[in-house]
Structure 1
Amino acid sequence: MPQANAKQRVACYQFAPKIADPSFNLEQSLKAMSEAAERQAKLLVLPELALSGNALRDREEAFVCSMSRDGTRLNALAEQARALDLIVIVGFCERLEAGHVANTSVMIQPNGQRTFYRKAHLWNRETLIFTPGDCAPPVVQTSLGRVAMMLSYDLQFPEWVRLAALSGAQLLCAPVNWPASPRPALQRPVEVTRVQANAAVNHLFILACDRCGHERGMDWVAGSTLVGADGYLLAGGISLDRPQLLVADIKLRTASDKRIPPYNDILGDRRPQLYGKLCQA
């Protein structure tokens, strides 16, 4: 476990996956891991659906691009994680039974442990392709600290992020694919602002790794974002449509102290008995 005052270097690697090109996507992912390790990072987040591409036409094409949890590509990432002593979190299209697929992320630790999460909140045409997950975001004890996972549109639901915080997460890692949309001049992408707000109101670190490039008529925000537990940007947060490695040095232990002056506590001051309507259908 890290020393109490130690900083841990974490990273996001933004790139442009290609649909139906598993060799390219794996090559880019392994390259990203090597570059992150060279920069002394101990944890790396890659984009949502990094191993398959995002703009899939239908469930049939997604199934062709899918893989099992013990497939060769994930095994290759696991071997690289062991060799580099690096935690990697990556999105992929998971093969289910009877032709079904899920939008899934996996956290692979150097000791070989794998933790999976299926996206619970599906965006736009994803509802026609993927089977949604029905489990809360996992919070995993790692060599760095307690790390949670979710995917992209999940971040739009503050209850989901709060659930991870209540489960003890110090760092939330989110592979994302943020579709580009018009915004006023000089304004930061709202997706980035949402990540900052989630970090601040829960006092936890968040890494959101976006993708770049053009894919079947779609462009992307390309705004990978590393945010401190105070809600302020540590790296990224702007649209930059090219591959890039973003790193930050953080003290995960600081996210366990939820006091914001000495007399207030972000989680302890909650009054759940007043919030009943939040859980009503």
Structure 2
Amino acid sequence: MTSTAKPDPTDFTDIRRDGWIGRWAPAPFRPYLTLARLDRPIGTWLLLFPCWWSVALAAPRWPDLWMMALFAIGAVVMRGAGCTVNDILDRKFDAMVERTRSRPIPSGQVSVRQALAFLVFQLLLGLVVLLQFPPAAIGLGVLSLALVFTYPLMKRITWWPQAFLGLTFNWGALMGWAAVRGDLDWPAVVMYVTGIAWTLGYDTIYAHQDKEDDARIGVKSTALRLGDTSKIWIYGFYTLTYAGLGLSGRLAGLSGLYLMVLSLAGLHLAWQVATWRPDDQNDCLDKFKSNRWFGWLVLAAILAGKL
């Protein structure tokens, strides 16, 4: 007998009901912790790794662990702030998309006024962290706010919002170098541009989760723009990522061990695209999350290149 039961509309959602927030956090704090995506750390990792790569690249020998910790705290706070801005601006769109309709703002758990107050709180925390850095890094951190506040609007006006996400998420490649050296130089600039290519790859994979809903409500993305050619384009983005990271390490004077370990990171990117199923929402999410391992491999390559 064929079942006529309708599927639960929350079956595919980015809210983790069995995560640590739902199990351990006090009820009044749960919507805010969820708004900041603290139960979904992959975004924090993707924001943090360019910072850590750059700090390690700029260090004379080994990276300063206190500075690495400051960037980790800053990544958690500013990723949460960015998600809050995104959800405030996208609340009407989120209510129409299966994956996002149960987020705190569209579901009514948090009002816009409450979300704005939470955003101010996060920005103040971010300022406290930022002030621990040298002046050049502080200036770059302040400039990054322009990207944080404008990126969520890009999906309304361009088919390439993933490029603007790349500009935003990889800003730490500039800040990390400036925090160590007090200036900017070509290794950091090349790493920043390279990070944009990396983001174009992984966020196009991510965007394929929502392509049907995005087409229905009029939201733009590279997943819709590139369509069935997405795999070819992502191969290209990831090839640029590998080549750019190689060049950045070369400019920074890393040893041959860097390229040897970096090749493992390159193989990971190739595996991502070769095994990716664009029409499988769960596989899109899994491949997107796997970029955490790519980030660790690149960091390991930089440290190896210091030997």
Instruction: Answer 1 or 2: which has greater strand percent.
Output: 1
Instruction: Answer 1 or 2: which has greater helix percent.
Output: 2
> TM-score category by the smaller chain?
0.3 to 0.5
The higher radius of gyration belongs to 2
Please report the TM-score for the alignment, with normalisation by the length of structure 2.
0.31
Please report the TM-score for the alignment, with normalisation by the length of structure 1.
0.33
